[in-house]
Amino acid sequence: MQSLGRALPLRRDPAPSRWAYRMQRLWLTPLFRVTMRVGLPAFVVALAIGIYLSDADRREAFGGTFIALKDKVEQRPEFLVGLLSIDGASPELADAVRAKLDLNLPQSSFDLDLVAVQAKAEQLDAVASAKVSVRTGGVLQVTITERIPAWVWRTDTGLMLLDADGHRVAALAERADRADLPLIAGEGADQAVLQATEILAAAAPLLPRYRGLVRISDRRWNLVLDRNQTILLPEANPVDALEGLLALNQAEDLLARDLTSIDMRNEHRPVLRLAPFALDELRRAQGIAPTESKT
């Protein structure tokens, strides 16, 4: 019988083992790959930093080094602000803004609170708005939008300049200093400037005789003209009442007569008040004036 000879070696199974198969499948999962490639190194680094900073002395030394480095960077010459430039304001307002800001220059731009500087500048009555920025060369730029006076407001405490919205601009020493601006008076007149502007526009034919608008009981206006004439306007629709009076005046030349006031508060029945001399003449014409006794 023929011998079978040397036994042939067993062939290795090419299929992966159960654990190898599971690892291959796991590596095909995107979340696992991201975790192993990014999350695990980040965790190792964070763990090492945590172990290093767990000692109080090392934490203090690290903090001191960081603060010293931060101060060194902030105090570099390119970050220092040494000049304050104010644009868009009159010389008097620019001086007031400088005094209001009261900045201790030079200082690092990192130490400047630009929002606080802007809010501080806008606290001045004459400043409508302000824009603050740091320019190259260490210049703190403050651009001012100045309020434009539109009215002179007479109060119990003195004269005040108001802008077109009724916001206070500045105090005024003498009325003659701004004789070019219209005058208003009375409590609450600053809160009704928009209505006063409409009345003034409607009273354009009377502007040569205009003396002022007086706010009455914070409800309505009196229009004061020269020759001590006063037009009492209603609380509601004062512009319409004034336009009706102007039409009547154009037809009858009413305001040229010897009147002290015209009451327009009742739109259906205007009331005229004569001056004392005109009233006496009217009474004499009607035969009701007292006769002078002769001696």
Cα dihedral 269→275→279→280 (10° resolution): 180
**In this predicted model, what pLDDT tens digit does every residue of 96-136 receive, in sequence order?**
999 999 888 888 777 888 999 999 999 999 999 999 998 88
Q: Which of 233-255 are b and which e, b meaning 16 or more Cβ less than 10 Å from the residue's Cβ?
A: bbeeebeebbeebbeebeeeeeb
Mean pLDDT of the chain: 83
Task: Please compute the mean of the pLDDT values over residues 199-211 and round it to a whole number.
Answer: 95
The length of the chain in residues reads: 295
pLDDT of res. 70 = 62
Nearest to 166 by CA among 144, 185, 143, 149: 149
CATH value of 151-285 in 3.40.50.11690, 3.30.499.10, 3.90.1150.10, 3.40.50.300: 3.40.50.11690
Looking at per-residue confidence, does 162 or 10 come out higher? 162
pLDDT band at 293, cuts 50/70/90?
Answer: very low
Task: Please compute the mean of the pLDDT values over residues 192-202 and round it to a whole number.
Answer: 96
pLDDT of res. 118 = 93
Pairwise CA distance, residues 122 & 112, whole Å: 17
pLDDT band at 194, cuts 50/70/90?
Answer: very high
Pairwise CA distance, residues 140 & 106, whole Å: 10
Q: Are 186 and 215 in contact (CB under 8 A)?
A: yes
pLDDT of res. 132 = 93
Q: How many CB atoms lie within 10 A of CB 127?
A: 23
Whole-model pTM: value is: 0.66
Answer yes or no: is pLDDT of 294 > 50.
no
Residue 39 DSSP label: I
CATH architecture designation of domain 77-146: Roll (3.10)
> H or E stretch including 243?
helix 238-252
For the chain, which residues make up each domain, given as ranges?
77-146, 151-285
Q: Cα–chain-centroid distance for residue 218?
A: 25
Q: Are 235 and 220 in contact (CB under 8 A)?
A: yes
**In this predicted model, what pLDDT tens digit does every residue of 21-52 receive, in sequence order?**
777 777 778 877 777 777 778 888 888 888 87
Nearest to 106 by CA among 130, 84, 132: 84
pLDDT of res. 148 = 94
Task: Please compute the mean of the pLDDT values over residues 53-64 and round it to a whole number.
Answer: 73
Pairwise CA distance, residues 213 & 153, whole Å: 10
Give the distance between the most distant pair of CA atoms in the chain: 190
End-to-end CA distance of the chain: 190
pLDDT band at 76, cuts 50/70/90?
Answer: low
pLDDT of res. 295 = 43
Looking at per-residue confidence, does 238 or 22 come out higher? 238
